[in-house]
Amino acid sequence: MVGQASGRRPGRPAQISRDRIVEAVASAENVDTLTMRELATRLGVTHGALYRWVKNRDELFDLVSEVLVERIVGAVAARAVPSGDWAARLTAVSWAMHDEFLALPGFATHLSRPHRHSDHSIGVLRSTVVDIFRAAEVDDELAQQSWHIFITCVVGWLASAENPLDVGPGVASFELFLDVLLRGLPARAPGVPRP
């Protein structure tokens, strides 16, 4: 009778996995305001079960970031864009970020604010993008600076897309934004003309 009163069915306890956690996060109205208590409820598990996977919100965002970066890198690899076509590869990364980040309302907003980033996931994404700039025959220092420009701009646009009232009318479409961004990348030393 206890199981029926709580609304839970008898049997095996709910299983938690990385993908189930990300699915539960994606079903939230706003990832940025999701509490651990709400997430445990969405998963149908106790706090203790959830805390065995992620101890706090920082670890939750690390886990979500890792899954999303794996999906982004996988989506880019699946498109089989030639390694020499840096603009097409960077476009593929940008659109994969667009699709994955905006599927989790509030995620880009969270990323746009100062916080501790997952060294693993941010490292994988950084290395992917820096390699793209190196394929454009950019030296390592400018490739790293191009990464910083790229990630700041893309995450900033995605965060503004999540908060359209903050931006107002006339926000550039992602296609227009990306076109303008790519025309300015990769970074070059100040005063050096574009080839």
Instruction: Give the global pTM.
Output: 0.85
Instruction: Answer whether 174's CB lies under 8 Å from 157's CB.
Output: yes
Instruction: Answer whether 108's CB lies under 8 Å from 158's CB.
Output: yes
Instruction: Answer whether 109's CB lies under 8 Å from 159's CB.
Output: yes
For residue 56, what are its two tokens? 């706090």
Instruction: In whole angstroms, give the CA distance from residue 132 to residue 169.
Output: 33
Q: Is 77 exposed, middle or buried (0-12, 13-18, 19+ CB in 10 A)?
A: exposed
Q: Is 181 exposed, middle or buried (0-12, 13-18, 19+ CB in 10 A)?
A: middle
Digit-by-digit pLDDT tens for the chain (195 residues) are 434 444 545 545 558 899 999 999 999 998 988 999 999 999 999 989 999 999 999 899 999 999 999 999 999 999 888 878 999 999 999 999 999 999 999 999 999 988 777 788 889 999 999 999 999 989 999 999 999 999 999 999 999 898 866 656 667 899 999 999 999 999 888 878 776
Instruction: In whole angstroms, give the CA distance from residue 158 to residue 88.
Output: 20
The torsion angles phi and psi of 149, rounded to 5 degrees, stand at -60, -50
Instruction: Answer whether 93's CB lies under 8 Å from 74's CB.
Output: no
Instruction: Answer whether 57's CB lies under 8 Å from 36's CB.
Output: yes
Q: Distances from the Cα of 123 to the Cαs of 128, 129, 147, 163, 190, in angstroms?
A: 8, 10, 11, 27, 27
